[in-house]
Structure 1
C-alpha cells in the first residue's frame, strides 16, 4: 500500500486489528503484511503488538443485531426515512460525519446487506435516522420489513477527506456543504456534528429529494437564502441556498459564493460527476481550502475483504476504498 497516499479509517480504533490482519493484508502494518521489519510510518499504538497481545484475533468485530423500526415515513414515493432503536452507545458512534451502517430485512440473506448513510443520530433517545432511496432489489426489500432490521456497524468511511470534518479537530471554521439528492443525508449528519463550533452553510440541489425532509431536519437551525441574493449569515445560523448544480447560471452563483465567503472547507456530497466538476471549481477558486467528498465506490462488505470497492493504482497496489482514506 502507498503509505504516503492513503490511511486506514479503522487504524487505532476499537475495531483494529481487523480481519485483514489475519490474512497478511493489513493496510498499515508492514509486519502484518509479512515483512521482516517495521516501516509502517504509523504514529499510533503499534498494530502488530495489539494483534499479538490479543492472541492474533480480530479486535471487537462489528456484530449484527436487530434494530427495531420505531418510525417509517415516506417523503416521496421512492424516498423513505426509517427511525431505528440502536441504543445510546451506538448512536454516539453513529453521530460522526461519514458514518454508515449495513441494513437488511430479517428474512433476507446476507446478499441483501445494504450500506446506508446515517442522516441523524439522537443520542438521548438512542436512535438513528436513515434515508433510503428506493431504486432496486435491495432497497425494495427493506420496504417489506415492518418491525426490525438486521443492522451491522458503525462504519466510518462514507466521506473521503473526513479528517477536515471531525468535530474534535474542526473548530471556528467556515464550512460549505454542497449536496445533491440522497447526498443530503450525510450532509445533515455532518452539519449537526459541526454547527455548534463552526459556521456551516448549505448549497442544496433538491432533484430527487424532498424539501419537506430538509424542512423537518433543518428547521430552526438554518436560514433560507434567496438563490439570486448574496448570502447573509449570522453567527448563530448558517444559510441554505437552493441551486441546480448542472445549471450554468447557478454555477456562477456558486462561484460568487465561494469567492465571497472564502470557506476553510468545502464538501461535495453527490455523484462522481459533480464531485469532479464542482470539486475542480472549488480547488481553482479556493486552493487553500480543505476538500471532502462522498465515497461513491461500490461498498459491499465494509471490511476490505470482498474487493467490490477496490481499484489498482499506478503503482500496482490494490486500494480498498471501504477502508482507505486519502491523506490530505
Structure 2
C-alpha cells in the first residue's frame, strides 16, 4: 500500500505520487476501500490479420465504457487467462460512441498477445477498464487550442495516435501528421486519419538508432511555422531522441507529449511492473504518473 497515513503514520509523505490521494478517496468512501476496475464481457464484431504480427479487433462495449474510452491515452486490459496477472494492456485506437464499437490494433509480440490470435468473430472478450494514462503530457494536449501541432507516429504507435489527433483536431488546431510505417508494409490508419486531417507525410524517423536528417529538418521547419506541441507516438527511443533534439536546438518551450510504453500488469500502481528508476534513487510508477515527458526521460536510468 502506498499511503503512509493508511499505514498508521501521522503525516503524508507521498513525495513522488502525483495521482489521486488514496487517503482522501478512502475517507470519502466511508472508510471502505473503493471497488476496483470492472470487467466486461464484450462481443467481438470483427477480427482482421493485417499482416504477420498485426491484429485488428473491434468489439461492442457497454455504452458507458465506450464513452470513457474516447479520451486520448485510454487503454484497457484484455484477459487471455483466468489469472488476471496475464491480462494484456492495449491502447484504444477508436471508440465510436454512436455504435459503441471499440477498435484495437495489436502487435503480436509474446505469449500473452499470441493468445489473441485465437479470437474469432462472435466470441466474447473479457475487458478490464477503463484506464487513461496511456499518454504522457495529456495536459498539453487538452490545453492546446486554435494553434498548431506536429504528430509523429511510428509503427504500432499509429494506433494510439488517433485519439490524440482527434482531440487536437476538435480543439481547432492545424495539424501536420508524419507517419513512419516501419517495420510494417502499410499505414493501417488511413480511414481514421481521413476524418480529422487532410493527409499525412511518410518519413523515415529513425536511422541507425538516431533521428533521421529528414525528420530533424521537418521538426525545425514546423517550429518556424508556429508549432507549439509535438506528439510522439512510438517507441521510447523515438520520444527520447525528439526531446534530445529539441533541447539541442534550444526549443524547450515547445511542448511534448508521447506514448506511455511502461510494461504494465495491474494498472493500479501496486505491482511495480511499470516502475522506472531515476537519478537520486527515485522510483516512479509510470502507470499512474502524469507529467511532461521531459520529466520522464531526463534523469531516467535506462540501464
TM-score range, shorter chain: 0.7 to 0.9
Tell me: CA distance 1:201–1:88, structure 2 relative to 1, closer, same or farther (3 Å).
Answer: farther
Deviations 1:277-328 (A, max 9, x none): 1221234443211111111221111111111111343344432111112257
Q: 1:127 aligns with which of 97, 101, 105?
A: 101
Which residue in the other structure is 1:276 paired with?
240
Alignment of 1:39-78 (within 5 A): 48-78=23-53
Aligned to 1:188: 162
Provide the alpha-carbon RMSD of the alignment.
2.6
Q: SS at the partner of 2:98?
A: coil
| Partner Cα distance (1:179, 1:318) in 2 | 28
Change (3 A) 1:43 1:302: closer
Q: Are 2:275 and 1:310 aligned?
A: yes
Q: Which residue of 2 aligns with 1:82?
A: 57
**Separation of aligned partners in 2, 1:52 and 1:155:** 23
Once the two structures are overlaid, the 10-residue window that deviates more, 282-291 or 304-313, is 282-291
Inter-CA distance 88–325: structure 2 relative to 1 (3 Å threshold):
same
Checking the alignment, whether the CA contact within 8 Å between 1:205 and 1:242 is kept in structure 2 is yes
Name which of structure 1's ranges 47-56 and 240-249 shifts more when overlaid on structure 2. 47-56
SS in 2 for 1:244: coil
- Please tell me whether residue 222 in structure 1 is matched to residue 197 in structure 2: yes
Instruction: Output one character per residue of 1:230-277: Cα deviation in whole Å (capped at 9) or x when no partner.
Output: xxxxxxxxxx11100124342343234333323111111111211111
Matched, 1:158 2:118: no
Q: Where do 5+ consecutive residues of structure 2 fail to align?
A: 296-303
Query: Given the superposition, is the C-alpha separation of residues 69 and 316 from structure 1 closer, same or farther in structure 2, using an over 3 Å criterion?
Result: same
**Taking structure 2 as the reference length, what is the TM-score of the superposition?**
0.84
Deviation at 1:212, TM superposition (A): 5.1
> Tell me, what secondary structure is at the counterpart of 1:288?
coil
Match of 2:119 among 138, 145, 149: 145
User: In the superposition, relative to structure 1, how do residues 34 and 176 fare at CA in structure 2: closer, same or farther (>3 Å)?
Assistant: farther
Counterpart in the other structure of 2:11: 37
Tell me the residue number matched to 1:297: 262
TM-score (norm 1): 0.78
For structure 1, which runs of at least 5 residues remain unmatched after alignment?
Answer: 1-22, 225-239
Which runs of at least 4 in structure 1 moved beyond 6 Å after TM superposition?
A: 39-46
